[in-house]
Amino acid sequence: MPVLQFDDRMIEFGKVKIGEKREHTYKVTNVGDTNAEIDIISACDCTTTNESKRTIKPGDSATIHVIFDSKEKTESETIDIDIFLKNRTPILSRIISAVLLIIAVSNLNGSLPR
């Protein structure tokens, strides 16, 4: 079974002005005994993701680059990033939720763009 281990699970961006973008790159290692195949990475519309590879072999690492855009935000919030793996075991045909990454944005300030 694939097991993903992250160097960071939560990032606190702190004060962010409306319209600012913040970025972070998560490093992930497959510490399981089979390939981890990323199927879907899901986040809110304000957050984009880009993974360095879709298949992570046992013992290998990859990165997931995340960009948070505060352009449409008016208050502080916590953003969840869900990563779903393809399940290759025929008996278990459902998608497994692999991890939950979190970006916390506090003290959002500034004026709305015009």
Q: Compute the distance between CA of residue 2 and CA of residue 31 in angstroms, rounded to an integer.
A: 7
User: What is the average pLDDT across 89-106?
Assistant: 44
Q: pLDDT higher for 16 or 65?
A: 65
**Band of the pLDDT at 99, cuts 50, 70, 90?**
very low
Is 112 a member of any domain? no
- The tokens describing 69, both together, are 């855009």
Which of 7-11, 39-43, 62-66 is least confident? 7-11
Residue 110 domain-assigned (yes or no): no
Averaged pLDDT, 43-59 = 91
- pTM, two decimals, is 0.75
For the chain, how many structural domains are there in total? 1
pLDDT for res 93? 33
Domain presence at residue 34: yes
Q: Which of 98, 31, 105, 39 is nearest to 73 (CA)?
A: 105
Mean pLDDT score of the chain: 78
Q: Which residue has the higher pLDDT, 90 or 105?
A: 105
Asked whether the predicted pLDDT for residue 103 surpasses 80, the reply is no
DSSP string across 54-97: SEE-TT-EEEEEEEEE-TT--S-EEEEEEEEEPP--TT--SPEE
Structural domain that includes position 13: 4-105
- Does residue 48 sit within a domain? yes
**For residues 75 and 56, what is the distance between their CA atoms, to the nearest angstrom?**
36
73 falls within a domain: yes
Token pair 């961006």: residue: 13
CATH of the domain at 12: 2.60.40.10
29, part of any domain: yes
C-alpha radius of gyration, the chain, whole number: 16
How confident is the model over 2-12, as pLDDT tens digits?
888 888 878 88
